[in-house]
Structure 1
C-alpha cells in the first residue's frame, strides 16, 4: 500500500485559531456580528468561530503557543516507566472515548521513549529505541502511534526525571495529560528533555508541548520525531523538519487537529427561534431593533454521541436619524433668497450635508443654511442628509422649492375721458388677482398722466402702469339770437349746436317779452362744455300821428298816413276813414 506523509507548518483556512493551554479541551462556538452596531435599514454579517470536532479520517498540524500543563507536582498524577528504559507501560485508561484515524479508543499505552500507541498488545513490552525511519513506518514503532518527541531517552539516568499522566477537566471536556520530564538522552546526558502530550475529549485534538528536546547528541544522529501515524502506518502527519531529523526544539508547541468532514452543525436563530441561517457564516441579517441571535453547534463524536453548545451575539440597531427640515415658501426669481432650518438631529457627532439642486451656491454643511439663491426659474430638489459620524448611519430627506417667473398684473385700460368729468377709480386688485397700491392713488380728471401699480408683499408679480387720456371739452357753438321786438314771436332754441353737440336748454323756450340768458347742457356721453345764449328784446315804439280834425259828415274824409310822424310805417284797419260815421 502506498504510504502518505503530510508536513504542515501553517494553519489551514479553517475556523480555528491558536489556543493556549486549557482552552481547546471544550468544544465551543463563538459568534460575532460584523458590524455589531448597524444603522436602520443596514445589515450585519454573523460569523462563528468554533472549537469543534471533525472526522478523524485526516489531520492537519499547526504551531501552538507554548503554554503547557504542569509537568510535575500535580495531585493525582500517576507515574509510569519508573526507573525503566525502553518499555511500554501497562494499559492506561483514557478516561473518555478518543477518536483517532477513524477509530474510537478508551485506552492507551505510554512508551518511555516519548510516544504512545493505541496498540494495546504493546502493553508491558519492549519499546524500541532506534530513530532511523521517518513516519509512516513500523520500523521503529507500531502503527497507531503518536510521537510527542520520540528519541532514545533514558528515565533511568535522571533521579529527578519522570514519566507520568493525569486527567483534567470534566465531561464532556476532559483531557489526558502525559508528561516526560527532565529525562536525558540515552548516550549523551544533559541537556535533558522535557515535553508533554495532551489528548482532548470530543475535539480529539492532540497537543504537543516541548520545553526542551536536544538534537545535538551524536547518538541516533540527533534524530527525533514529532508526528502521528495511522494503524496501518500508511498515513503520517508531521511538522516540517520534525520527522526523523536532527532538530533541537525549545518552548515549542504543535496541535494535530482532525481535518476530515465536519462532525458538527451550526444553526442560527433569532429571539422568536426562527432559523436565520446555518453554517459558520457569513449569515446576513437586517434587524430593525436590537436583536440577540443564538448560534447553536451540535457535535457528534465517532461513536454517535451528540452534544450541544450555544452562544449568543447581539446586533445593536441605532435609532433612526431624523433629517427633516423646514424651508422658505416659493419665491419670485427677482430677489429670491431661501432659508432652510434643520428640524432633525444635530450637534456634536452629526454632520449636515445639503444639496440645493442647482442654486448659485449649491451645497452646504451648515445646520441651517440661509440666503440660498437661484439664477433661473424652475422647481429645484433640496436634499438634506444627516450622518452619524461615529457609526456612519445616514438619513436623507428631500423637498422642492419653486422659483417663479413674476406675474404681470393685468388691468382693463382706462378709456379716454372728458376733462373735468368724474375720474375712474384705480382697482386695487388686478384682473389676474394681484393686489397692490397705485401711485398716484387717484386719477387726475384734468391732466393726463401715468399711474404705477406696485404689488403687495408676498406676491410674485411685477409692477404695472396705466396711462390716462383726457379729451378736451368741446364748446358748443350756436348762432346768436338776434334782438327781437317785445311781444313778437320768440325764436326756437336749437337742441343741436352748430358743431353737433346735442343737449337741452334751461329755460327751454325763449321769453318774447323779457330778455334773458339760456343755458345749454350737453347730453351725456359728449365731452362738451355748457353754453349760454342771451336774448335782446326791443321795446315797441308808439307811432305818433297828427290827430284827425273833426270834419263834416259826408265831406271828403282825410287820408290815413302809412308812416307815422316818428317814422313808423304800417297799415290801417280800416284802410280808409269813413266820412259818415265817426270811428277808430
Structure 2
C-alpha cells in the first residue's frame, strides 16, 4: 500500500510489504479504489489481517476520500480483528472505498491480504398488481369457478431499469407461470394466496419482496348476502377513450325452486363458539322454538321461527311439544320424504345422521344470529359431535341462512361414517314442510350411503323468477344501463354506480350499491397560437395537471428541451417557434403544442386591379384594417376588413393603406390603377339605303341596332354594315367590345335621302326649254324616244326639232 488510487474490479490489495513482507513502521498512507463501471459497488474480502493491536490502524471510508463515513477501524490479529468482507454502501454514489493506514514508530507485522471485486447493487423493485379478470373484490379476492380462466396483469416499479425483468406468478397451489400477463385456471377448490415476484437482470438475482395481497377463492360463490361488486377503479383505454365495466352480484329468484351448486369450503364463521348452545349432552332431541329476527322465505312460505335438532337438522314447521329428533334411516328413505319422521319432520339437513352429543363434554351444537339488517344470518353449527355407536368418530358441519336473499349454505368439515349403526346412512339437502319437494346435491342422498367427506360446501339458491333489478347509474344518478356489462367513454374522471334492488317475499325492498371510478388521463391545452412583438414580456406556458404522478417534457420545434421537465415553461422574446409538451401519466401520453411568434409586425399586402376596383391579399399579419390614403372623391368605396375596392373609375390610380392590429401595429401603403375600359368608339358613312363603318377604335366587338328598327333595315353584327334602310331615316348603331373591361358606344346613322328631280319647261315653236329645276346637274332624256327627229340637250334639257303641236315626255 502507498498513497494513490486505482480503478479496478479484480486483483489483490496488500499492505506495503506486499504478499510476503511486513509493512513498515511510521507509515501514513491513503489509497482509494473505485469500481470500473459507474453504479457498481467495490468489495474487499480480507483473507488475512494482522497489525500491532491498538498501535497500527487501518481505517476504511465509504467513499472516494477520507471525508466519507467511516466503515470501521481495524487493528490487531485473529478473526475478531479481521475486517472480513467490506463493501461500499448503496448510499455511496461513487461505489469507492478509501483506506487509510497509520503505523507507529514501533514494531510491525505481516499486514493484510484482500481480494478486490465489484458488483452491481440491487435496485428497489416493487411488484404491482394492475388488474385481474374476473376483477378483484373489495377484500382483495378474486372469485372464480373451477376451471375458469383468470387473467393476471402485473407490472413493476424499478428504481433503475426494468428492462429484461422476469415476472413469476405463484398461484399457491403448487403451480406458477412467468410473464407480465398470464392466464391460469384452478382445478381444485380452495382459497389460494397469489404472489408476484419480479427478478431483474442483475447477476445477483435482485427481486421484489413486497406482497401484492391477492387471494383467489376457487370454486367459491360470493357470500349469500345482498351484494354487488362494480369492479376495481379503472382508467379509460388511451387508444379508444373507452373502457368496459363489469359488475357482479348475487342473482336470486323466488323460492318455488332452487339451484344446488358446490362452492368453495370457506366457512364464514368458526364452527365453535357460536352464542346459543342447545341439546348439549342430550341425544335425539329437538331444542326449543326460537324466533327468527327476520323473515326467511322458504319454498314460498315466510318463516319466522325455527328449531334445531341434535341429529344435524333444522325445521321451520315448529312443534314445541315434539322434543324427539328422529335418528332412524332406512335404505330407501331418500329425500323428499314425509313418512320417516327422521326426514319428514325436518327442512334443512346439514347433513342428517345419527350423532350423539351425550357421549362428549367438548362437543357443541350452537346457533347465532350474526350481522345487521338486512344482511343478518342464522348460523347453526355442529362441532365435533361423536357419531352414535362410533364415538371416536366426530362430525363437524354448519348451515348458514341468509336474510333477504334466502340463500342456504352448508359447510361440512368432517363427515365420517359409522357403518355399524343405521348403515352409516346420511343426507344433505333441503325439503319443503310437506316433505314432497327436496333438493339434494349429487351423491348425497340417503341411498348414496355410506359416504364420507371432508371440507365440502353446498349452496341452495332460490331460482324461481328473478326478484332482482340491476342498473348502472352515472354520476348524476341517472340510469344508463340495466345489464352488468357496460362500455363507457367519459371525457372526465367519472364515478359510476352499480345498483341492485332485491325484492323480498315479504315486500321488503333492499338496495345495495357499489361505485367504480373511471379515470380519464390528464388533458392539456396550451391555448391558441400567439403573435407577439419583439421585446414583449415573457410568455409562461402552463401544462399543470391534477395528477401527482404525471411527468413532463417540453420541446421546441419537435426537439426536446434539455432539463425542461416542469409543468411550466417560460418563453422569452425573440425565441419564436412551435412549443410542445408531452405529459405521461397512468400509462397514457397526452400532448399539445402552440406557436409563439415574436415579430416586428408585417403589414405587407398586394392589390389586384379589376374593371371597377381591386382585390386585396394580405401577406403579412392578419386582422388589420384598410383605408384610402388619400380618400378619393369619385365615389370609389373600400372595405375596411378585406381591402376590396368597388365603384372605382377606369384607369384611375388609388392609394390604399393597411394597418395591422396588436401591440406592435405597423402600416403599409400600396397603389393600384383600375383596369382601363375598352374604347368602343367608331364612325360610319351613310349610303342611300344604309351605311358602312369607316373607323373603329377596338375591333372584335359586336354591332347591333338599339333600338331595333321597324322597317326592313338590317345590320351585320361583325362589320356593322347597314342595308335596306329607308333614305333619310335615322338608326342608332350600338357597338360592344368583348375585352376584359367591355364598353359600349352608339353611333347615330342617317341614311342618305333621295335627290329632288322636279323641273318645269316652256314650250317653243319647235320644242321647249327648262325654266326651273330643283336639283341641277342631272341628265335629261326623252322617254320614250319620239323618233320624229326631235332632239333633247342632255345637260340643259332644251328640246329642238320638235313637231308643231306634238307632245313630248
The answer as to whether partners of 1:40 and 1:319 remain within 8 angstroms in 2 is no
The answer as to whether partners of 1:40 and 1:320 remain within 8 angstroms in 2 is no
Q: Is 1:49 paired with 2:252? A: no
1:415-454 alignment to 2 at 5 Å? Answer: none
The answer as to whether partners of 1:67 and 1:209 remain within 8 angstroms in 2 is yes
Q: Is 1:126 paired with 2:328? A: no
C-alpha distance 40-143 of structure 1, shift in aligned 2 (>3 A): farther
Write the distance in 1 (CA, Å) between the matches of 2:518 and 2:585.
19
1:198-248 residue CA offsets vs partner (Å, 9 max, x unmatched): 211112121222221102533222221111122333332222222222222
1:12-411 alignment to 2 at 5 Å? Answer: 24=223, 26-32=225-231, 36-39=235-238, 42-51=241-250, 53-60=252-259, 61-74=261-274, 77-121=275-319, 124-132=322-330, 133-138=333-338, 139=340, 140-142=342-344, 145-244=347-446, 245-279=449-483, 281-320=484-523, 391=587
Shift of 1:156: 1.5
C-alpha distance 130-180 of structure 1, shift in aligned 2 (>3 A): same
Write the distance in 1 (CA, Å) between the matches of 2:321 and 2:494.
56
The answer as to whether partners of 2:233 and 2:517 remain within 8 angstroms in 1 is no
The answer as to whether partners of 1:79 and 1:163 remain within 8 angstroms in 2 is yes
Q: TM-score, normalised by structure 2?
A: 0.37
- If each structure's strand is expressed as a fraction of its own residues, which one has the higher value? 2
1:479-498 residue CA offsets vs partner (Å, 9 max, x unmatched): xxxxxxxxxxxxxxxxxxxx
Which secondary structure state, in structure 2, belongs to the residue aligned with residue 232 of structure 1? coil
1:58-117 residue CA offsets vs partner (Å, 9 max, x unmatched): 22222232335233334xx22222332222222121221111122110111211110111
Which secondary structure state, in structure 2, belongs to the residue aligned with residue 89 of structure 1? coil
Write the distance in 1 (CA, Å) between the matches of 2:323 and 2:273.
28
1:305-345 residue CA offsets vs partner (Å, 9 max, x unmatched): 1122222111111235899xxxxxxxxxxxxxxxxxxxx9x
Gaps of 5+ in 2: 1-144, 149-215, 527-542, 544-549, 553-557, 561-581, 594-809
Shift of 1:11: 8.1
The answer as to whether partners of 2:522 and 2:585 remain within 8 angstroms in 1 is no
Which secondary structure state, in structure 2, belongs to the residue aligned with residue 221 of structure 1? helix
Equivalent residues, number: 344
C-alpha distance 143-230 of structure 1, shift in aligned 2 (>3 A): farther
Which secondary structure state, in structure 1, belongs to the residue aligned with residue 343 of structure 2? coil
Q: Name which structure has the greater RCO, CA cutoff 8 Å, separation 6+.
A: 1
Write the distance in 2 (CA, Å) between the matches of 1:18 and 1:55.
27
1:424-462 residue CA offsets vs partner (Å, 9 max, x unmatched): xxxxxxxxxxxxxxxxxxxxxxxxxxxxxxxxxxxxxxx
Write the distance in 1 (CA, Å) between the matches of 2:357 and 2:459.
26
Which secondary structure state, in structure 1, belongs to the residue aligned with residue 272 of structure 2? coil
C-alpha distance 307-97 of structure 1, shift in aligned 2 (>3 A): same
Which position in structure 1 is the counterpart of 2:131? none
1:144-173 residue CA offsets vs partner (Å, 9 max, x unmatched): 611012101112122222322122111111
Write the distance in 1 (CA, Å) between the matches of 2:455 and 2:370.
22
C-alpha distance 247-68 of structure 1, shift in aligned 2 (>3 A): farther
Which secondary structure state, in structure 1, belongs to the residue aligned with residue 472 of structure 2? strand
The answer as to whether partners of 1:68 and 1:196 remain within 8 angstroms in 2 is no
Write the distance in 1 (CA, Å) between the matches of 2:585 and 2:387.
64
Write the distance in 1 (CA, Å) between the matches of 2:232 and 2:384.
47
Shift of 1:292: 0.7
C-alpha distance 112-22 of structure 1, shift in aligned 2 (>3 A): farther
1:241-263 residue CA offsets vs partner (Å, 9 max, x unmatched): 22222222223322222222322
Question: What value does the CA root-mean-square deviation take over the aligned residues?
Answer: 4.4
Shift of 1:285: 1.5
C-alpha distance 285-144 of structure 1, shift in aligned 2 (>3 A): farther
The answer as to whether partners of 1:56 and 1:100 remain within 8 angstroms in 2 is yes
Which position in structure 1 is the counterpart of 2:188? none
C-alpha distance 101-12 of structure 1, shift in aligned 2 (>3 A): farther
C-alpha distance 143-40 of structure 1, shift in aligned 2 (>3 A): farther
Gaps of 5+ in 1: 1-9, 324-343, 351-366, 370-385, 398-584
